[in-house]
Homo-oligomer: A and B are copies of this chain.
Amino acid sequence: MCSVNQSCVLILVFKKMKQNIKVIAFDADDTLWVNETFFRDAEKVFATIMKPFAKADEVYRKLYEVEMNNMLLYGYGIKGFMLSLIETANVISNNHVSAQQIGEIIEVGKSMLQKPVELLDGVEQVLKSLQGDYRLIVATKGDLLDQERKLRKSGLLPYFHHIEVMSDKTPSTYQALIKHLDIENHELLMVGNSLKSDILPVLQIGSWGVHVPFHTTWHHEEVNEPIISDQFYTLGSIIELEELMQD
């Protein structure tokens, strides 16, 4: 379990100090189940629809630009993504995209909303083994309806005491969550795939962070600075959380 980048000393420090943790919060998308892959797949289909107007690289670049411009207005989630796809189609085609192509884009989004939930390896086993010793919750960004639907489909609802859908993940929104849970900051451990959303803001308020990288990270969520903290650990797979949290 001690990887090349992290000495066994680190894991011992983490294991020794973690005795205060009462609540483990799990990010949902790309931590409990596959998500980013569906966005990447949808973008590929979108690039195919846009082929008459631009090369794939330009399509991806323009889409990202439109998404960032719309972020404050639309937030995270598939519906905002769909609206950004349509807007990008207009921009890239210089208003020559056809109604039929717009219809195809809407269908891409609708099929994303109806995707079955693909749990990541080991998720259920980890939740089962931790539920007796910790209060488990979900702390996720995204669209309320969509995340509730995925949780229902996932079959994981019985493991969780609370589901928090947050419009954004910042130190202050985590602080509000901690207040709501009626615990101290150092009693929360957040587990997630995004350093930017799941780890940095919780470390900033004195909570704990375990990073479980997913193979695909949205450019918007990337972090390039190394993170050094006694309250932070990186795992190769969520299944290793079981051993990390053992006494």
Contacts and interface: CB of A to CB of B under 8 A. Distances in A.
A177 interface: no
Contacts of A7: none
A102 B90 contact: yes
B79 A74 contact: yes
Interface stretch (A54-62, A106-114, A211-219, A231-239): A106-114
A77 B143 CA distance: 11
B73 A86 contact: no
Contact of A96 (B77, B96, B99, B110): B99
A182 to B, nearest CB: 11
Contacts of A119: none
Contacts of A144: 75, 143-144, 165, 167
Nearest to A96: B99
Given A86-B86, A86-B106, A90-B102, 17 more contacts: A73-B110, A73-B113, A74-B145, A75-B144, A75-B145, A79-B83, A82-B83, A83-B83, A83-B106, A87-B103, A89-B99, A90-B103, A93-B99, A95-B98, A95-B103, A97-B102, A99-B102
